[in-house]
Amino acid sequence: MPRLETHSVLCIRREGGVAHFPGLASPRRIHCGQCSDAQRQWLQDLLERAAQCPDTEGGADRRRLFIEIEEGESATGTLPVWSLSLDEAQAPEGLVALWRHGEWQV
Amino acid sequence: MGSLHCRSCRYGFMPPYVLERVAVQGSERLRNVARHTLTTDQTFRTQRGPQQVVEPLTAPLPRATPGQPARYIHSAEHRQELPGRLIRKEGEEASNDPAVDEAYRWLGATYRFFWEVFERDAIDGRGMPLIGTVHYGQDYDNAFWNGAQMVFGDGDGELFNRFTASLDVVAHELAHGVTEREAGLVYAYQSGALNESFSDVFGSLVRQHYLNRTAMQADWLIGAELLTDQVNGRAMRSLADPGTAYDDPVLGRDPQPGHMHDYVETQADNGGVHINSGIPNHAFYLVAMALGGYAWRAPGHIWYDTLRDPRLAADCDFATFAWLTEDNADRRFGRQSREVVAIREAWRAVGVTS
């Protein structure tokens, strides 16, 4: 997993569930350049825990989180350099809370 | 205090729907939720480790006798651990917990539908216990089938009510188990949309059966009880008129097509399984309306026959499914029957066949 740098952008999407609501499907983008060092480290730790989460198979209407680290700029936007998909039920609480409520304190 | 920022909003990294409610309606509840988040994160606490995968419940629960369900309703007590604490099992008195008692009642109604209409004994046809968990997570606005049991959140109270409130949503989840056992439709793209459509069709039929409504009398909605008064919408989906269930500043607009002209090519939502299911949903509705009477009779039997048809491949597409429904109608009612004609015309009307 790459280190989160000041030029990194963390993108979190949530998909699935019993219905698809377009208004709730927008990705959350966190620009690491606007984070303190402590916040960036908190995010890094969170991603490393997420990467170790077991995944689940089967079932229906489950929700999944899609995480990408984007870096740099291209003509079409930022470039993903790392991605992860995991079952929301298996994700670290902090990641789900970050998607839902956004703000946090350090 | 630090807040993370999204490119498109200047309020910090608050999801748009939360911001919308806070800004427009100043909900005390959401302010409390946000405050709670701030508080819990304030200590920069060490996150707990990965949650353990909960194995599907394999305890030897008593199986149902034919015609009698075996219901086991648990509470996750707002954690995300399954199955949680057993609150009410088959034959026990009401618990006075509305979510528990709704799950119990609606799983019973769904069992009775499959038994009385199709003589199917539960999810696996062999009396499999019906295991449900309510109060899953905090403000959890979803319901799902995990391959072994059904799981229901309480909703956030702002956009969504508790997910056990809706009979057709409870039936939708149980029907996923039936589809999984019978056809194993791959949960992606067109086969995934068929998987979703089976759950919506059976979900709606269970409701119609429970209320003793004909096709003409039915509302053909899925999840009408789930959306709060603050949402501009009637339900999550409409089989009668896909794409019209809601149009809300926060949820967005119902994306379901009712015709192949509007088929949505996407990788989101497992390839649009909850989006393009509007097309087979509407085909079923058209068949039911053309034939009239109770939709669980001829239309329901044809769809159920098709679900159990060994020719229904796990990666079946809409066109093949359309052909299979027509062939099953032919087998049950005859080639010249009005059922075959209704099915042929319905698939043509939604653009799956020409």
pLDDT tens profile B262-288: 999 999 999 999 999 999 999 999 999
Same domain membership, residue B252 and residue B142: no
Structural domain span for residue A63: 9-101
User: Per-residue b/e over B260-281, b at no fewer than 16 CB within 10 Å?
Assistant: bebbbeeebbbbbbbbbbbbbb
**Residue B257: CATH number of its domain:** 1.10.390.10
Residue B215 to residue B231: CA distance in whole angstroms: 27
Instruction: Give residue B64's Cα distance to chain centre.
Output: 24
Residue A4 within a domain = no
Query: If you ran DSSP here, which 8-state letter would residue A73 be given?
Result: E
Q: What is chain A's mean pLDDT, rounded?
A: 87
Q: How far is B124 from chain A (nearest CA, A)?
A: 15
Catalytic option among B102, B158, B173, B326? B173
Choose among A49, A57, A60: nearest CA to A92. A49
Collapsing DSSP to helix, strand or coil, A77 comes out as strand
pLDDT value of residue B4: 42
Same domain membership, residue B107 and residue B30: no
Please count the structural domains in chain B.
3
Same domain membership, residue B129 and residue B39: no
Q: Tell me what the mean pLDDT of segment A74-91 comes to.
A: 83
Same domain membership, residue B205 and residue B133: no
Catalytic option among B172, B274, B282, B326? B274
pTM for the predicted model, two decimal places: 0.87
Which chain A residues are closer than 8 Å to B269 by Cβ? 15-16, 20, 25
**Residue B154: CATH number of its domain:** 3.10.170.10
Residue B202 within a domain = yes
> Are B209 and B296 in contact, with CB atoms under 8 Å apart?
yes
Query: What ipTM, to 2 d.p.?
Result: 0.88
Residue A106 within a domain = no
Residue B164 to residue B304: CA distance in whole angstroms: 25
Same domain membership, residue B198 and residue B330: yes
Please count the structural domains in chain A.
1
pLDDT value of residue A101: 73
pLDDT value of residue B57: 54
Q: Which residues of chain B have pLDDT under 70?
A: 1-60
Chain A residues 19-38 within an 8 A CB cutoff of chain B:
19-26, 28-31, 34-36, 38
Same domain membership, residue B152 and residue B7: no
User: Which sign does the torsion angle of CA B135, B16, A31, A105 carry?
Assistant: negative
Residue A56 within a domain = yes
- Residue A97 — pLDDT band, cuts 50, 70, 90? confident
A28-61 pLDDT per residue, tens: 889 899 899 999 999 999 999 999 998 887 899 9
Q: How far is B142 from chain A (nearest CA, A)?
A: 6
Residue A45 within a domain = yes
Q: At which of B165, B200, B226 does a domain end? A: B165
What are residue B246's phi and psi, to 5 degrees?
-155, 155
Same domain membership, residue B78 and residue B117: yes
Structural domain span for residue B26: 1-49
Choose among A75, A47, A58, A34: nearest CA to B144. A58
Residue B116 to residue B210: CA distance in whole angstroms: 11
Residue A3 within a domain = no
Q: Between these two residues, A80 and A57, which has the higher pLDDT value?
A: A80
Residue A84 within a domain = yes
Instruction: State how far the alpha carbon of B208 is from the alpha carbons of B85, B288, B342, in Å.
Output: 32, 12, 20
Report the residue count for chain B.
354
